[in-house]
Structure 1
């Protein structure tokens, strides 16, 4: 089957996806632990296999026999990644949204849809979700070059489930900068009248209102900011232990686009 999709720019860096990997290990660890075949796909790993290698290492702490397959459309990238392979634990193959015929329990697709039009996102989500193992999950999003700002959506066969915003608190100037790294489905929706705009504004206002907590460190400031966002009525998920890491997760229904898109 011909790979579905377009070749990405391929930019990557070591530890760029550390935040999403650790989130997957915690939130999808139970899914991996109970899977008959603990197969994970790193879709569009880029010009270097480093993030796939790191994903396998991090998830092996959850389940030692986890298998990671890195998929790339560009055959030259697949060939370049071959020396890093360690079958069956880590392999690299040519493939795209069709997942090369695999049925993974988890797919990580970071910085893949960023180059697509918003109108193409729904079809890409659907194509991948249809090829997941039963109860499988797609984690799709974007991050900056160093992984200091990131966001991702989780989806299954029924559709989007959650949105997570994540930041390196030691370098965070303002939560408003997270708008630059929203998933493709939301990055053009940071406008008045859209829920994601309201969430980012509430978080930014809370961050400024809790500036005094900076004396106790950025984690305390972020935690109090997230608590303020929740008190304002946003359905924030998870516990304070996750908030302190610079995360905020909400149900997709809280941020799903409402207005007609100029890209549809």
Structure 2
């Protein structure tokens, strides 16, 4: 086969590392996956272990019983190690950003695969992945911490980025701006004065400090009240499926990509 596009990642992974993203995808895009027969989902760059792809498969099967998940990894040794864990609806193949699958996927999850590239390459690979999507498909691309307690991801359709989501484990951060190191590669170097993403973190930290008294009722209540306050000056999603107390209580916050682009 032609050499896969991309470079081998460190391969760091672990149980439940991507749980926050999985449950967000299931809640927000379960309907999309049910809208077609046997929807194809690609997990790109799953790393040294099959486990996060297997977890994605089991979680999506709860909302779309006929979903087909393909784990794509550039390292042939990692693919060989994952093969024994295949089952109906779950397969592992060698490949890269070219996505060597037989039909356009409805959803592509690409986590922790763009950190090693420069910003121009990240934009280029976004474009390549978007061109591979089903006409109604989406790309979820982001980065998380080693244990998955802090994560940021962007969601794109075949035309452009649409939303950005921040997620954190309660008690796993001192202030919202602690999420900055997890920004997508296309944003992380923009977190400097004069750019929208920097203003967002400044305002979010200020709202977090203002809502400190609510910590007496638990960090979850402080997060929810902070989201309410921030939504007065930023276009925070405040209604389902991506916003409002239902999502905020899970440690999430979603905004339109245009707010930080």
| TM-score bucket (shorter structure) | over 0.9
SS in 2 for 1:249: strand
Query: Is 1:209 the counterpart of 2:213 in the alignment?
Result: no
SS in 2 for 1:177: helix
Residues in 2 aligned to 1:178 and 1:171: alpha-carbon distance in whole angstroms: 10
The number of residues matched between the two structures is 254
Matches within 5 A, 1:189-228: 189-228=190-229
Once the two structures are superposed, what CA deviation does each residue of 1:117-162 show, in whole Å capped at 9, x if it has no partner? 0111111011011111121100000000011000000011111000
Identify the residue that residue 234 of structure 1 maps to in structure 2: 234
Residues in 1 aligned to 2:143 and 2:172: alpha-carbon distance in whole angstroms: 18
CA shift, 1:170, in A, is 2.9
5+ long unaligned stretches in structure 1: 257-264
Identify the residue that residue 155 of structure 2 maps to in structure 1: 154
Identify the residue that residue 259 of structure 1 maps to in structure 2: none
Following superposition, which runs of at least 4 residues in structure 1 exceed 6 angstroms of deviation?
A: none
Identify the residue that residue 246 of structure 1 maps to in structure 2: 251
Residues in 1 aligned to 2:36 and 2:7: alpha-carbon distance in whole angstroms: 30
Once the two structures are superposed, what CA deviation does each residue of 1:204-241 show, in whole Å capped at 9, x if it has no partner? 1111111111111111100111111111x210012121
CA shift, 1:2, in A, is 2.8
Identify the residue that residue 98 of structure 2 maps to in structure 1: 98
Residues in 1 aligned to 2:29 and 2:252: alpha-carbon distance in whole angstroms: 16
Q: What RMSD over aligned residues (CA atoms) do the two structures have, in Å?
A: 1.0
Identify the residue that residue 140 of structure 1 maps to in structure 2: 141
CA shift, 1:172, in A, is 2.4
Taking structure 1 as the reference length, the TM-score comes to 0.94
Matches within 5 A, 1:78-97: 78-86=79-87, 88-97=88-97
Residues in 1 aligned to 2:14 and 2:207: alpha-carbon distance in whole angstroms: 32
Residues in 1 aligned to 2:139 and 2:248: alpha-carbon distance in whole angstroms: 22
Matches within 5 A, 1:54-203: 54-86=55-87, 88-102=88-102, 103-203=104-204
Residues in 1 aligned to 2:192 and 2:227: alpha-carbon distance in whole angstroms: 21
Residues in 2 aligned to 1:148 and 1:210: alpha-carbon distance in whole angstroms: 22
CA shift, 1:173, in A, is 1.5
> Larger deviation: 160-169 or 28-37?
28-37
Residues in 1 aligned to 2:258 and 2:37: alpha-carbon distance in whole angstroms: 31
Taking structure 2 as the reference length, the TM-score comes to 0.95
> Larger deviation: 172-181 or 217-226?
172-181
Residues in 2 aligned to 1:158 and 1:77: alpha-carbon distance in whole angstroms: 32
Identify the residue that residue 34 of structure 1 maps to in structure 2: 35
Identify the residue that residue 25 of structure 1 maps to in structure 2: 26
Once the two structures are superposed, what CA deviation does each residue of 1:6-44 show, in whole Å capped at 9, x if it has no partner? 111100011000000011001111110102331100000
